[in-house]
């Protein structure tokens, strides 16, 4: 039998060995020599692309790993979502999950090729931003009220763009038209960035989108209203759509990080904690640049994000059913 003294010495030796071991989460992810791909279901240049690149850069710095962005736009974000659903759940493939591919698509499309609650592991709700209704500089209306009056005089004359059928900007425009009793023509694109460029050029009249204030202040587009519960501190002169004749009208875009279902819980927790760290330190907002002044960065836990998605699916189903939108 070992003496008490020898037991103490052995325990101390074991403790020293354990303390010398590398931390189990951050130091082992990503694995040495491995690259993490973040799928972005948007073309380059839009708010989702900006967020994806910002997250990739802060995670690369904090975890001393390599993170790359792969833009997979199209199909109202189903192309990237299907790719993630088939990816190996090893933490080396992540995606920017959005209100469109996680909450609206399941209520509008019967053959998605993925189930947002079964095929993905939520990591962190990362960004929430109210949408602005913007118009080309020469658009005849400068307020929501003027838009409604002009649209009623010329039903179906005005056009609005979106990143595709079933995306949140598309549903927001249809809901506004329904509430206002007007009709407009929908022009779908493969992403927000090309639609935005056509609004600036006057090829289409308007669209709902985020990340617009630099363009508004430069006179490239004009903002008719913001679909938030209150005016934005960055642009207090822009009225809410609710106070402009459509009380209670609020439409936000949200995005977060998701992984393939079955990704080890330790990896999911590590990524979530690192995103929270980047948010609390201000590193993520700083990397977002001017866009960071227009958004909230909640940095939720995986459990909170899953519960949020469940609530959002139910909410958007009510809206889609109200509008009678079909696949």
Q: Is 39 helix (H, G, I), strand (E, B) or coil?
A: strand
Residue 17 counted as domain residue:
no
Structural domains counted in the chain: 2
**Left if phi > 0, otherwise alpha if psi is -120 to 50, otherwise beta: which for 166?**
left
Residues whose CB falls within 8 Å of the CB of residue 224, separated by 6 or more in sequence, listed in order: 132, 133, 134, 135, 141, 142, 143, 144, 147, 206, 244
pLDDT of residue 303: 98
Give the helix ranges, DSSP H, for 21-167: 47-63, 78-86, 99, 105-108, 144-153
Find, among 277, 13, 258, the residue nearest to 125 by Cα.
258
Q: Are residues 110 and 209 in the same domain?
A: no
Phi, psi of 218 (to 5 degrees): -85, -5
Phi, psi of 197 (to 5 degrees): -60, -40
C-alpha 257 chain-centroid distance:
8
**Residue 72 sits in a domain of what CATH number?**
3.40.190.150
Long-range contacts of 277-286 (CB under 8 A, 24+ apart): 277/62, 278/55, 278/58, 278/59, 278/62, 279/126, 283/58, 283/61, 283/62, 284/54, 284/55, 284/58, 284/126
pLDDT in tens, 83-131: 999 999 999 999 999 999 999 999 988 789 999 999 999 999 999 999 9
Residues of the chain with pLDDT under 50: 1-2, 4-26
pLDDT of residue 110: 79
pLDDT in tens, 119-170: 999 999 999 999 999 999 999 999 999 999 999 999 999 999 998 888 899 9
Using only C-alpha atoms, the chain has a radius of gyration, in whole angstroms, of 23
Residue 59 counted as domain residue:
yes
pLDDT of residue 19: 38
Q: Are residues 279 and 175 in the same domain?
A: no
Q: Are residues 139 and 239 in the same domain?
A: yes
For helices 192-201 and 47-63, angle between their N-to-C axes, nearest 10 degrees: 130
Record the pTM: 0.84
pLDDT of residue 3: 52
Residue 78 counted as domain residue:
yes
Q: Is 2 helix (H, G, I), strand (E, B) or coil?
A: coil
Residue 4 counted as domain residue:
no
Cα(167)–Cα(171) distance, integer angstroms? 6
Residue range of the domain that includes 220:
132-244
Residue 75 counted as domain residue:
yes
pLDDT of residue 327: 60
Q: Are residues 33 and 123 in the same domain?
A: yes
């Amino acid at each position: 039998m070992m003496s008490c003294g020898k037991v103490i010495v052995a325990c101390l030796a074991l403790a020293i060995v354990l303390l010398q071991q590398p931390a189990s989460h951050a130091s082992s992810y990503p694995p040495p020599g491995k690259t993490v791909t973040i799928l972005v279901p948007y073309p380059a240049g839009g708010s989702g692309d900006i967020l994806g690149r910002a997250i990739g850069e802060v995670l690369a710095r904090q975890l001393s790993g390599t993170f790359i962005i792969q833009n997979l736009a199209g199909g109202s974000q189903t192309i990237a979502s299907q790719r993630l659903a088939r990816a190996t759940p090893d933490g080396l493939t992540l995606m920017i999950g959005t209100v469109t591919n996680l909450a609206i698509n399941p209520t509008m499309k019967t053959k998605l090729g993925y189930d947002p609650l079964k095929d993905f592991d939520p990591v962190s709700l990362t960004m929430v931003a109210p949408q602005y209704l913007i118009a080309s500089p020469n658009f005849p209306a400068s307020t929501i009220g003027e838009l409604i009056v002009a649209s009623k005089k010329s039903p179906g004359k005005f056009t609005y763009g979106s990143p595709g059928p079933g995306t949140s900007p598309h549903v927001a425009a249809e809901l506004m038209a329904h509430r206002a009793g007007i009709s407009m023509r929908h022009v779908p694109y493969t992403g927000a960035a090309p639609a935005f460029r056509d609004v600036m050029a006057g090829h289409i009249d308007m669209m709902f989108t985020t990340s617009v204030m630099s363009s508004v202040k430069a006179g490239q587009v004009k903002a008719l209203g913001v679909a938030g519960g209150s005016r934005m501190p960055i642009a207090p002169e822009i009225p809410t759509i609710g106070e402009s004749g459509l009380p209670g009208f609020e439409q936000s875009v949200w995005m977060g990080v998701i992984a393939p279902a079955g990704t080890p819980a330790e990896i999911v927790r590590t990524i979530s904690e690192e995103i929270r760290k980047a948010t609390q330190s201000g590193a993520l907002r700083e990397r977002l640049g001017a866009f960071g002044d227009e958004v909230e960065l909640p940095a939720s836990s995986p459990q909170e994000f899953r519960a949020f998605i469940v609530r959002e699916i139910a909410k958007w189903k009510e809206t889609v059913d109200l509008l009678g939108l079909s696949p």
